Amino acid sequence: MSRTLIIGASGQIGKKLTRNMLNDGQKVAALVRDKNKLSEFDDANLSIIEADLTKDFEHAFEDCTQVVFVAGSGGNTGADKTILIDLWAACRAADYAKNNDIKHFIMVSSIGADAPSSGPEEMQPYLVAKHMADEHLVQRGLKYTIVRPGTLTDDEPSEQITTERPSNKDDAKITRADVAKALLYIVKNPADSNLVTELFNGNKSIAQALK
């Protein structure tokens, strides 16, 4: 059975995705800095790998077939962590995936990563990091899905999404829970070809929006 490596499994989306995948009976390798952050999980299908993304983490890829990169430096850290996590760790994950013959790499990127110069000035360093990490993945020659959610919220999931960017930028949001549900769908239903898609709250089922 295939095993999916979730990089950033202790994060807000990462934990929800880990839960969704285990509830679905899937095997998960969860990369976290601190295994205590996953103490609520008790499942034979879960292996926890403690690793720091600023160090070597290639061992985490062993026996995995898919990867979801959902780590991030977060909004309360500085430019150093943006470079080390959002850019460099994401690039290294793509390199490790190539070395380890990973069949499908799912990158959680961000709205605006396609055109960093058009984003708000304070977001541009982050958007450049996301842009370059996405480009690096594309150039590795792996099968990939790049997911670019709008602004993340902690609202309840509606399971109604869209891949079409709303005309009003205040509506360019999506719940973390719906992103986690969409990621489960993508893990289980990899598109036939490489895909880059934005994700927002919307009015289609996840399957309809992503088919």
The residues annotated as belonging to the active site are: 126
Q: Compare residues 12 and 160 and give the one whose CB is closer to ligand NAP.
A: 12
**Secondary structure of residue 64 in the 3-state scheme:** coil
Question: Of 62, 55, 43, 50, which is closest to residue 10 (Cα–Cα)?
Answer: 50
Q: Compare residues 88 and 194 and give the one whose CB is closer to ligand NAP.
A: 88
Stretch near ligand NAP under the rule CB under 6 A, chosen from 38-46, 104-112, 157-165, 185-193:
104-112
The least distance separating ligand NAP from the CB of residue 189, rounded to whole angstroms, comes to: 21
Stretch near ligand NAP under the rule CB under 6 A, chosen from 64-72, 93-101, 135-143, 202-210:
64-72
**Pairing between strand 160-162 and 195-201?**
antiparallel
Q: Which residue has the tokens 């880990």?
A: 18
In the set 71, 97, 128, 133, which binds ligand NAP (CB under 6 A)? Answer: 71
Q: Could you say whether residue 66 binds ligand NAP (CB under 6 A)?
A: no
The least distance separating ligand NAP from the CB of residue 143, rounded to whole angstroms, comes to: 20
Q: Compare residues 151 and 160 and give the one whose CB is closer to ligand NAP.
A: 151
Q: Could you say whether residue 152 binds ligand NAP (CB under 6 A)?
A: yes
Residue ranges in 172-211 that form contacts with ligand NAP under rule CB under 6 A? 176
Determine which helix (DSSP H) or strand (DSSP E) holds 184, and give its type and residue range. Answer: helix 176-188
Stretch near ligand NAP under the rule CB under 6 A, chosen from 3-11, 39-47, 117-125, 162-170:
3-11
Q: Could you say whether residue 119 binds ligand NAP (CB under 6 A)?
A: no
**Secondary structure of residue 22 in the 3-state scheme:** helix
By CB under 6 A, how many residues form the interface with ligand NAP?
25
Gap between the Cα atoms of 49 and 195, Å rounded: 28
Q: Could you say whether residue 110 binds ligand NAP (CB under 6 A)?
A: yes
Report in angstroms the alpha-carbon separations of 32 from 16, 134, 163: 14, 22, 29
Percent helix / strand / coil, the chain, rounded to 5: 40, 25, 35
Report in angstroms the alpha-carbon separations of 138 from 65, 104, 163: 18, 12, 20
Q: Could you say whether residue 135 binds ligand NAP (CB under 6 A)?
A: no
Question: Of 197, 205, 145, which is closest to residue 178 (Cα–Cα)?
Answer: 205
Q: Which residue has the tokens 């690039």?
A: 91
Phi, psi (deg, nearest 5) at residue 147: -105, 125
Give contact residues for ligand NAP (rule: CB under 6 A): 8, 10-14, 33-34, 37, 52-54, 70-74, 85, 108, 110-111, 149, 151-152, 176
